[in-house]
Structure 1
Amino acid sequence: MRYLKDFLSQEDFTKTLIYPYLKCTEQEAAILRYLVLAALDGESEERVLDILGAIFGKPTDVKKLRLDNLKDWGKQEYINKIERTEHLGAIKSLLDSGWINAVDFSFLRDREVGRDMALLELLPLEVSLSSSFLRLLEDGSVQQEVPVNTPYTDHLEYLTDQFLRIGLLASLRHKKSAKIASQIRSVEERIQARLERSKSEIPAHKLLKDHHLNTKEEIIFFALLKEEYYGGDGYYRDMNNLIDLVSHNEYEKIQNRALLDEKSTLVEKGLLDYGEMLNPFGGIMRTFFIPEELLRKLINTPKKRRGNKQNLATELLEQDIFELLTPSASFDEVILPSATRATLESILQQVDSSVVARLKEWGIVDKHKGVQAKILFYGAAGTGKTLSAQAIAKALKKQILHFDCSKILSMYVGESEKNVRKIFDTYKDIAQKSKNPPILLLDEADQFLSTRIHSNSGAEKMHNQMQNIFLEQIERFSGVLIATTNLVESFDKAFSRRFDYKIEFKRPDFAMRVALWEKFLPKTAPYARGINAKALASTLASYDLSGAQIALVVKNTAYKIATQAKPIFKEEDFIQMIIREQKGDFDEQKSVGFNTH
Structure 2
Amino acid sequence: MQYYLDFINTKEVQKSTIFPSLKCDEDEAKILQYMAKALLNSEVEIMVLSLVENLFGLKGEETLAYLPKIKNLLELGWVSQSNFSRPTNTLLLELLNENIYLTHSFLRLLEDGTLEVALPKANPYQDHLEYLKDQFLKIDLLQQINHLKLSYKLDSPSLSRIQYRLNTLEQQIKYRLKLTQTPFEIVSLIKDAELDSKEQTLFFALLKEEYSGGEGNLREMNALIELISEDEYDKIKNRSLLDEKSNLIEKNLVDYDEILNPFGGIARTFFINEEILQKIIYPNKKKKKSKNTLTNLIKEQETFEILEPKKDLKDIVLAPSTREVLESLLKQMDPKVISQLKAWGVKERKSGIESKIIFYGSAGTGKTLTALALAKSLKKQILNFDCSKILSMYVGESEKNVRKIFDSYREITQKSKSEPILLLDEADQFLSARSTGGGGADKMHNQMQNIFLEQIEKFDGILIATTNLLETLDSAFSRRFNYKIEFKRPTQEQRAKLWELHLPKNASYSMDKKELVKKLSSYDLSGGQISLVVKNTAYKVATRDNPTFSLEDFSKEIIKERDGSFDGEKSMGFVV
Classify the TM-score, shorter chain. 0.5 to 0.7
Q: Distance in 2 between matches of 1:555 and 1:349?
A: 37
Contact 1:276 1:398 in 2 (8 A): no
Once the two structures are superposed, the pairs formed by residues 266-285 of structure 1 within 5 Å of their partners are 269-270=248-249, 271-273=253-255
Q: Which residue of 1 aligns with 2:200?
A: 211
Displacement, 1:369? 3.4
Confirm whether residue 501 of structure 1 aligns to residue 470 of structure 2. no
Amino acid corresponding to residue 292 of structure 2 in structure 1: Q
**Structure 1 residue 413: deviation in Å?**
2.6
Equivalent AA in structure 2 for residue 221 of structure 1: E
Post-superposition Cα deviations, 1:428-478, rounded to whole Å, max 9, x if no partner, equal 122223354221111000010001112322111111111111111111111
**What is the SS of the residue equivalent to 1:421?**
helix
| Aligned-partner Cα distance in 1 for 2:267–2:357 | 15
Does the 8 Å contact 1:283/1:347 carry over to 2? Answer: no
Pick closer, same or farther for the CA change 1:576–1:158 going to 2, 3 Å.
closer
Aligned-partner residue type, residue 450 of structure 2: N
The percent identity for this pair of structures is 52
Q: Which amino acid aligns with 1:535?
A: K
1:547 equivalent among 527, 536, 547 = 527
Distance 1:465 1:202, change over 3 A: same
**CA distance 1:445–1:354, shift in 2 (3 Å):** closer
**TM-score, scaled relative to structure 2:** 0.56
* Residue correspondence of structure 1 range 256-267 to structure 2 within 5 A: none
**Where does 1:167-186 land on structure 2 (aligned, <5 Å)?**
none
**Structure 1 residues 304 and 568, CA gap change in structure 2 (3 angstroms):** closer
Distance in 1 (CA, whole Å) between partners of 2:422 and 2:255 is 20
How far apart, in 2, do the equivalents of 1:253 and 1:201 lie?
Answer: 27
2:510 alignment partner in structure 1: 528
Written as runs of structure 1 = structure 2, the 5 A alignment for 1:251-330 is 269-270=248-249, 271-273=253-255, 290-292=273-275, 295-296=278-279, 299-302=282-285, 310-330=292-312
State the alpha-carbon separation in 1 of the partners of residues 269 and 456 from structure 2. Answer: 24
Q: 1:465 aligns with which of 429, 447, 452?
A: 447
**Could you say if the C-alpha distance between residues 304 and 469 of structure 1 is closer, same or farther in structure 2, counting changes exceeding 3 Å?**
farther
Unmatched runs of 5 consecutive residues or more in structure 2: 1-41, 43-123, 133-175, 191-196, 226-238
* Letter of the structure 2 residue corresponding to residue 456 of structure 1: G
CA distance in 1 between partners of 2:451 and 2:294 (Å): 26
- Displacement, 1:579? 2.7
Residue 263 (structure 1) shift: 8.4
Change (3 A) 1:361 1:393: same
2-structure distance, mates of 1:263, 1:567? 37
Structure-2 separation of matches of 1:294 and 1:471: 43
Aligned to 1:591: 571
Listed as ranges, the gaps of 5+ residues in structure 1 are 1-81, 83-150, 160-194, 224-241
What's 1:574 paired with?
Answer: 554
1:221 has 2:213 as partner: no
Distance in 2 separating the partners of 1:439 and 1:277: 18
2:412 matches 1:430: yes
Aligned AA (1:562):
A
Letter in 2 for 1:222: Y
Measured in 1, the distance between the counterparts of 2:218 and 2:481 equals 35
Mapped to 1, the partners of 2:392 and 2:313 lie a distance apart of 34
Q: Secondary structure at the match of 1:211?
A: helix
Does 1:557 pair with 2:537? yes
Cα RMSD for the two superposed structures: 4.9
Residue 495 of structure 2 corresponds to: 513
Q: Which residue of 1 is the match for residue 63 of structure 2?
A: none
Structure 2 residue identity aligned to 1:578: I
Cα deviation per residue 1:14-52 (whole Å; 9 max; x = unaligned)? xxxxxxxxxxxxxxxxxxxxxxxxxxxxxxxxxxxxxxx
Q: Which amino acid aligns with 1:575?
A: S
How many residue pairs match? The answer is 394
What is the TM-score normalised by the length of structure 1? Answer: 0.55
Q: Secondary structure at the match of 1:502?
A: strand
Deviation, 1:370, is 1.9
Give the deviation of 1:399 after TM superposition.
1.9
| Correspondence 1:395 to 2:367 | no
Give the counterpart letter for 1:425 in structure 2: D
C-alpha change, 1:487 and 1:354, in structure 2 (3 Å) is: closer
- 2:452 and 2:266 mapped to 1: Cα distance? 27
* Residue 532 of structure 1, CA deviation: 1.3
1:376 aligns with 2:345: no
